[in-house]
Amino acid sequence: MATSSREDCYSASYQDRRFSKQVRDNVHGYIYLDPIFLKFVDTEQFQRLRDMKQLGLTYLVYPGAVHSRFEHSLGVYWLAGEAIHRIKAHQGLELDINNMDIKTVKLAGLLHDVGHGPFSHLFEREFLPRVLNGLNWSHEDMSLRMIDYIVDTHNIDIDPECLKNAKEMVVASHEHASSRSANEKQFLYDIVANGRNGIDVDKFDYLVRDSRACGLGCSFQFERLMDTMHVIEDEICYRAKDYLTVHKLFATRADMHRTVYTHAKVKAIELMVVDALSIANGYLQITDKIDKPDEFWKCQIDDLILKRIETDSSEKLKEARHLIQRIRRRDLYQFCNEFSVPKDKLEHFKDITPQDIVCSQKAGRITLKEEDVAVSIAKIDLTRGRSNPLESVKFFKDYESGDKFSIQDHLISHLLPSFYQDKIVRVYAKKPELVEAVSEAFENFQLKIYGMKAQVHATPEKKRLRKMMFSS
């Protein structure tokens, strides 16, 4: 399409900005919220997202990581709109993209996290499975309930088909895929939560936003992919020359998981919060509200729940309150050591429990109990477990070509990884004076399971000797 035609498409799309609300975002600059989206934003259910930090408890290690789900949701809304507008500018007539399509994609971007629980993914992946015997609850499913609740409660007048398709887009990722409408425009479902290959504007926003908040550089530039995405046979494809840019998206995500999201001290704090929430659940009845949107949004199931535990004087919260106070005083569970599960053991890896560590202890001065030990297992991959996500990405030669194809790594570079997943097993002592005993039991466990010590080095002596400081 000629430049002037593209400009016409953009101006037609943005001509009503005088009716929009302008918001200044520290990542994307000015964001414009049209009236229909403001109806959702200006509800107490959506405003609740201001009370949840995007990275949960990470700010206790990276002090700048205090940005919220609210600003991330606005960012995904904006990028979803930019993506569909750019596709329309180049292929609008060919793909029959209409205003309803644009509204639907933007709505999905705006509301994709409206049902999120507190503390990033800790709430649904660690707390709920522990107290509800492995319950598989997802914030995506709660988002669907919350969207309906918002529409009904606030009498928002929106096209039912638009709402239905937006909800399908919210759960379109491979982990939460549901039946979707028999819609010939399947490429629209690739934009917000991409179930085909994991390239979506949700990642574009949080990788840049999280990196910036933590004071880290981000070498991945999503703008390059946004500018060149092209739909072929109902699928968003990318230029073959951008193969390494796509790879960098997945590599950046893995780096953020390793250095930020699963940082050893962040995980120590998360383990303490899960323990505190588990103890407090009976009194606060947190789990009674997880399937009720009308209670979920207003019962402090957000970051403020820690303050509620900390300030409530009930005897039933004494243990939980003590754990929160320990976090405040930086008296954290002590990281003892870690190892990366050997590659040949990953396929049949079985989760390691505190009981496994305790049972590996040899006779000594201290006899460990399960409640003395905490174990964290961090899975770091490129979004597809032990598979290469780029195998699911389709590329094209140039804009004149109508063919899409996959590319094998070795045709691009021999420096790309041949393995795509790590599992890091970390063990913590819940009291400083137990570090030596837990560290020794952890080493014995490795010898028993693998016939060798898989950890890089022994637990530093200064950590082991902390027991003397606390016992003297």
CA 193/CA 113 separation, integer angstroms: 11
First to last CA, the chain: 77
Angle at 57 between CA 52 and CA 61, to 5 degrees: 135
Q: Which amino acid is at 313?
A: S
Confirm if 231 and 84 have CB atoms less than 8 A apart. Answer: no
Exactly one of 85, 90, 116, 139 is catalytic; which is it? 139
Tokens of 309: 């535990």
- Interstrand relation of 29-33 and 21-25 (parallel, antiparallel or unpaired): antiparallel
Tokens of 184: 């010939």
- Beta-carbon contacts of residue 66 (< 8 Å; ≥ 6 apart): 53, 59, 213
CA 82/CA 203 separation, integer angstroms: 15
Distances 65 to 121, 243, 420 between C-alpha atoms, Å:
15, 30, 27
- Which run of H or of E encompasses 336? strand 334-340
Judge whether 28 counts as a catalytic residue: no
Q: Is 309 exposed, middle or buried (0-12, 13-18, 19+ CB in 10 A)?
A: buried
Phi/psi zone of residue 357: left (φ > 0), alpha (ψ -120 to 50 degrees), beta?
alpha
Tokens of 101: 């399509």
Confirm if 381 and 174 have CB atoms less than 8 A apart. Answer: no
Supply the residues annotated as catalytic.
Answer: 139
